[in-house]
Structure 1
Amino acid sequence: MQLPTNLDRRGRTRRIRWLVPLALTVLTLPAAGGCSSDGATPAAPRGDIAFGVIAPLSGPESARGQDLVDGAQMAANDLNVRGGVIGLHVSLVTVDDECLDDSGKEAAKRLHLTESVAGAVGGVCDDAAEAAARVLGGNGLPFLISSANSPTLVSAEDTPTAYLTNGTPYQEALATVHWMAYNTAQRLAVVADDAPESAYLVKQVISVASPVPKVVSKQTLTAGRQDIAAAAATALAADPDVVYWAGSARESGRLAAALRKAGYKGMYIASAQSESPDFRSAAGTDGAEGAYVITTASPQNLPATEAWTKRFTKAFGRAPGRDALQAYDALRALGQAVTQTGKVDRALNSEQLTKLEDTFTTFMGALRFAPDHTVKYDNHLVLTVKSGAFTLASTLRPDNDT
């Protein structure tokens, strides 16, 4: 079966290849000291350049916010080891958005009034990130939204300087259907909970899947009133060779267990929420084994980040999370844009983000932005449960655009 092309929302196509096992571009940065990559000592910084970091440092998402800030600080440290950005020492201006839209707006105002701030990274919650992006866009300040991933956050009219570095739900749907196609799936049964984000993701998956694999069954389960055994029986009555779940990790595990108990031998694929101990616990050994989860890259599922993770853990006393990795790459991208511009110019630096040079890479390879300011090559990958643990199965990277 021929693999599908990757269709973006502007109608372009791009061929992909699946890498099994994974071969990743390894980002090489000096671990410590003051030497550049050619062995020479970098020139002493001749001034300062500041980047803003917008994160929830209070409230229920404060742990994620601190992870994001620490990832940005790690990037600043690494840039300074290499001599800074255009010879300027990198510092951070961190503001708390509390994951609230009003706080996001106020946080962004503080940044744009700080003359030394050349750009910003961050944004965990959609509402707060959108509020900040509107303020920063109105003042020409580039903003790399590193965690929140709603495509509505980037708008040429309302948030012209905002960029998403995280893969969108649409891109998760693409990755999901690509994996089905790679495994020659023909008949798809879809089951989801009734959360709005699950409904949106399912809509994208079904849209991308048509005509192959053919959707032979679709169910939406009401939270708290699911008859999982009945849902499994309904899905299997349609004779699928792949069952896809979008929704909570616990209910995903229960469905996987029910399917295996009913004798299902086909593929089980779940949305990113199932990358959780709750899934493995609810599924049990038999239900979880061999299941696939489509999720975004994190330090825990990228072998190429091993050395970076050790350095991060030594610096901050804990292992990094997904938000730290995303913020690390986002801040480096801002530094690269300034480097390519050759000066601190907010408008020019924002424009340069669409023209990042081939030499700039991340742990996932190339970081490039599409005209709509979403990532051109997203960061989704495939995990599978093997011997009770999540194991990297594959990722996709672009071969070329056609």
Structure 2
Amino acid sequence: MQGKIAVVLAVATAAWGSVAQAQDVIRIGHVAATSGAIAHLGKDNENGARMAVDELNAKGVLIGGKRYKIVLQAEDDAADPKQGTTVAQKLVDAGVNGVIGHETSGTTIPASRIYFNAGIPQISPSASNPAYTRQGFGTAFRNVANDEQLGAALARYAVQNGKARQIAVIDDRSAYGKGLSDEFIKNVKKSGVARIVSQQYTTDKASEFSAILTAIKGKQPDLVFFGGMDAVAGPMLQQMKKLGIKASFMGGDGLCSDSMARLSGDAMADGQVICAEAGGIEAAQQKGMDDFRAAYRKRFGIDVLTYAPYAYDALLTMVDAMRQAGSPDPAKYLPVLAKIRHQGVTGTVAFDARGDVQNGVLTIYTFKGGKRQRVAVMK
């Protein structure tokens, strides 16, 4: 990690000197899909970052003996890789001190090169594809577990707890959907007691699945695994019900939101849907998380969907690194960020040599009465 950081320090120093904002302002970018099919999830991330900014400014931010105001520059990438890189360049040109985001792996990965070239630290609170932190970019971090951990946990739960033996897999061919499905399939095959009876593909914008579901029905699976987001999973569940497919339905964090009940209509039977969120808290953090959720509802009038607490912790972690470094200059606080141990509402935020969160925790959920219920916390 230190070698990678050294590569960007000179670039960061030059960039900082030429585009720094007014001396009393720290500008932090936030990027998520706040338009399009998963806008509800993107806004959830943005709201978490805004809560952190509000809290910091209310308390006062003192860094290196100087008082600062934190300004959040929130941008929308619509979960589109091309728009993601355009927005990333916009933030670099604006001279942001750091970036929280992007939300999806498909936009985070291409944008990360732009931030690396500019020497700007980036923490994604939700992008889980392992490739993000395997590019050798010393500016890239995430504070959630990656798809290797998520896919392994879901496969283990499906085989051991769900007793699945005949499994069909559908992925949406996005960086997230494909990455998660690949890891799930790999770990199912390792189990030696379950087999993949059908593997089908769709897109992250599809709404019609009759052909692939008909092909799956003929294989009589007891579990359908979907690598994709809730906006696609909801209609898919409705069409499964119409075709009489009564298999359990499993996926990752993309469909692990409270919006699943609304998006699937009345198609979701109690206990049918199982999902895992690339994060989670153990008993010691429960009160802090409960307090955060209550504050979030008071601030925005809605409940947390998925990753707002991780966006919140990511921004506070970044500012904590600035405090410890005595400067918001990216070149000065980046080495501190790589070694940080920040106590957040989601637990301790600390990164390994690649920039992945250490000791990533996963939470398994199901849905009953249309409400998400926690089943287990795993590592």
Instruction: State the TM-score, normalizing by the size of structure 2.
Output: 0.71
Amino acid paired to 1:53: G
1:135 CA drift (Å): 2.1
Equivalent residue of 1:141, what SS? coil
Deviation at 1:271, TM superposition (A): 0.4
The alpha-carbon deviation at position 381 of structure 1 amounts to 1.0
Q: 2 CA distance for matches of 1:227 and 1:62?
A: 26
> Paired residue for 1:336?
320
Count of residues in correspondence between the two structures: 330
1:152: Cα distance to partner?
A: 2.8
Given the alignment of the two structures, is residue 143 of structure 1 paired with residue 122 of structure 2, yes or no? yes
**CA contact under 8 A between 1:49 and 1:118: conserved in structure 2?**
no
State the Cα RMSD in Å. 3.6
Of the candidates 347, 355, 359, which is equivalent to residue 339 of structure 2? 355
Residue 48 of structure 1, CA deviation: 3.3
Give SS of 1:148's match: coil
Q: Write the mapping of 1:224-303 to structure 2, written as runs, cut at 5 A.
A: 224-226=209-211, 228=213, 231-232=216-217, 234-235=219-220, 243-247=223-227, 248-252=233-237, 258=244, 260=246, 268=248, 270-272=250-252, 273-275=254-256, 276-277=260-261, 278-279=263-264, 281-284=266-269, 288-289=270-271, 291-297=273-279
Amino acid at match of 1:77: D
Give, in whole Å, the separation in 1 of the partners of 2:181 and 2:370. 27
Contact preservation (8 Å) 1:340, 1:352: yes
The residue type equivalent to 1:179 in the other structure is Y
Deviations 1:288-335 (A, max 9, x none): 336522234589xx9653322232233334444334333211101102
- State the secondary structure of the residue aligned to 1:163: strand
Q: Which runs of 5+ in 2 are unaligned?
A: 1-22, 203-208, 228-232
State the SS of the aligned residue for 1:124: coil
- C-alpha separation between the residues in 1 aligned to 2:315 and 2:201? 41
| Identity across matched positions, percent | 18
Aligned residue in 2 for 1:48: 24
2:101 to 122, 125, 136: 122
Q: How many Å separate the matches in 2 of 1:121 and 1:249?
A: 28
Per the TM alignment, residue 121 of structure 1 is displaced from its structure 2 partner at its CA by 1.0
Q: Distance in 2 between matches of 1:209 and 1:188?
A: 9
SS of residue paired to 1:191:
strand
Contact 2:310 2:346 survives alignment (8 Å): no
> For the Cα contact (< 8 Å) 1:119–1:143, is it kept in 2?
yes
Question: Do the aligned partners of 1:72 and 1:324 also contact (CA within 8 Å) in 2?
Answer: yes
Q: Answer yes or no: is 1:70 the counterpart of 2:52.
A: no
Unaligned runs of 5+ in 1: 1-46, 237-241, 398-402
Q: Does 1:386 align with 2:365?
A: no
In terms of Rg, which structure is larger? Answer: 1
Question: Given residue 376 of structure 1, which amino acid in structure 2 is its aligned partner?
Answer: Q
1:279: Cα distance to partner? 4.6
The alpha-carbon deviation at position 163 of structure 1 amounts to 1.4
The CA deviation at 1:235 is 3.8
- Answering whether residue 373 of structure 2 is matched by residue 395 of structure 1, we say no
Could you tell me whether the CA contact under 8 Å between 1:85 and 1:335 is conserved in 2? Answer: no
Q: Give a deviation string over 1:160-213, Cα, whole Å, max 9, x none.
A: 31212343332220221343466395x632212253245543321132234325
1:91, distance to aligned residue in structure 2 (A): 0.9
Q: TM-score, normalised by structure 1?
A: 0.68
Report the Cα distance in structure 2 between the residues aligned to 1:318 and 1:355, rounded to whole angstroms: 35
CA distance, structure 2, for counterparts of residue 334 and residue 167 of structure 1:
18
SS of residue matched to 1:270: strand
Contact 1:253/1:280 (<8 A) preserved: yes
Q: Which amino acid aligns with 1:211?
A: K
